[in-house]
């Protein structure tokens, strides 16, 4: 396997922090705060504003060690590979504006109970997940033109129609992980053409044939955001009260070519 050097880039909101720990570690922290403000601390390797220039393609292995400050932090946190599909985070330090896209991802993802992030009724929608997304190919311009349709998800009577549309456009798979998240664990994923395998502490947890399309970028983050499109009801989205500072610590981040 070939080891690739990583150039990690900091993206954060005011009052959040991303601090280097030793030679190969990082501390990402968001402050205590109300539900009226968004807080984000993130590391990524977005080398370009153009998704086709994102660095990572299969086959590769992504790995790191991680722990968090509490078992159920309000909001989301995680690490892995995605296509940075959302273009609305303009104005925060280090964040680049992009047109929206449908999601492509392979990652370890924690979502607090206020989230409902599965379009499938039989798939876990929050908690700590090993998860993947694979979407129909659609231009960003066409998706932007179709955004008024997605806005119908905020109307209870129309939300389920939008949910069914997303089920057709976006394939996803997820496995719920039960472990003590405040302890250090080793996490890795192997992304191949047509398959992703997830490991924790060198034991395989989950494998799926729903694999993202390249090109992807590395992301490691913690925030106080939530989103929910449940089987019944309308979409909900916003920020969560964080009664105390919350942090994610990582070390030993590595990407290797080959599987």
Helices (H), 99-190: 140-145, 147-150, 156-169
In-domain check, residue 238: yes
In-domain check, residue 40: yes
In-domain check, residue 29: yes
Instruction: Note down pLDDT in tens along the chain; length 259 residues.
Output: 666 788 899 999 999 999 999 999 999 999 999 889 999 999 999 866 678 889 899 999 999 999 999 999 999 999 999 998 875 444 455 555 566 778 899 999 999 999 998 888 888 999 999 999 999 875 444 344 344 444 444 445 556 777 778 878 899 999 999 999 999 999 999 999 999 999 999 999 999 999 999 999 999 999 999 998 888 777 888 999 999 999 999 999 999 987 5
Computed from CA positions of residues 200, 204, 210, 213, in that sequence, does the dihedral angle turn out positive or negative?
Answer: positive
**pLDDT, position 154:** 45
In-domain check, residue 1: no
Supply the range of the domain harboring residue 230. 9-257
**pLDDT, position 174:** 97
In-domain check, residue 25: yes
In-domain check, residue 157: yes
In-domain check, residue 73: yes
End-to-end distance of the chain based on CA atoms, in angstroms?
8
* Count of the separate structural domains present in the chain: 1
**pLDDT, position 1:** 60
In-domain check, residue 79: yes
Tell me if 187 sits within 8 A of 224, measured CB to CB: no
Please tell me the distance from the alpha carbon of residue 214 to that of residue 204, in angstroms, as a whole number. Answer: 23
Q: Which residue is listed with tokens 């947890």? A: 205
What is the CATH number for 53? 2.60.120.200
Please give the model's pTM, rounded to 2 decimal places: 0.88
Peptide bond just before 115 cis, omega within 30 deg: no
**pLDDT, position 47:** 61
- Give the number of C-alpha atoms closer than 13 A to the C-alpha of residue 4, restricted to the C-beta side: 17
DSSP-derived letter for residue 132 is: E
**pLDDT, position 53:** 84
Nearest in space to 252 (alpha carbons), one of 175, 162, 188, 157? 188
Host H or E run for residue 206: strand 203-208
């Amino acid at each position: 396997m070939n080891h690739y050097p990583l150039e990690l880039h900091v993206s954060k909101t005011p009052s959040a922090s991303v601090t280097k720990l030793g030679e190969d570690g990082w501390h990402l922290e968001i402050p205590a705060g109300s539900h009226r403000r968004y807080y984000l601390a993130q590391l990524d390797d977005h080398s370009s504003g153009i998704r086709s220039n994102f660095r990572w393609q299969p086959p590769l292995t992504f790995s790191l060690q991680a722990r968090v400050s509490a078992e159920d932090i309000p909001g989301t946190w995680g690490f892995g590979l995605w296509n940075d599909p959302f273009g609305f985070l303009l104005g925060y330090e280090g964040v680049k504006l992009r047109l929206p896209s449908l999601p492509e991802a392979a990652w370890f993802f924690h979502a607090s109970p206020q989230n409902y992030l599965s379009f499938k009724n039989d798939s876990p929608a929050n908690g700590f997940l090993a998860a993947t997304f694979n979407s129909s190919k659609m231009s960003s311009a066409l998706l932007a033109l179709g955004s008024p349709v997605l806005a119908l998800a905020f109307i209870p009577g129309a939300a389920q129609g939008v949910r069914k549309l997303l089920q057709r456009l976006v394939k996803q798979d997820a496995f719920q992980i039960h472990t003590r998240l405040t302890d250090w664990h080793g996490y890795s994923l192997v992304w191949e053409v047509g398959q992703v395998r997830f490991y924790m502490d060198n034991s395989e947890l989950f494998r799926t044939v729903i694999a993202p399309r390249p090109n992807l970028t590395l992301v490691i983050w913690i925030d106080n955001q939530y989103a929910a499109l449940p089987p019944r009801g309308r979409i909900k989205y916003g920020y969560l009260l964080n009664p105390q500072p919350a942090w994610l610590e990582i070390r030993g981040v590595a990407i290797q070519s080959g599987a």
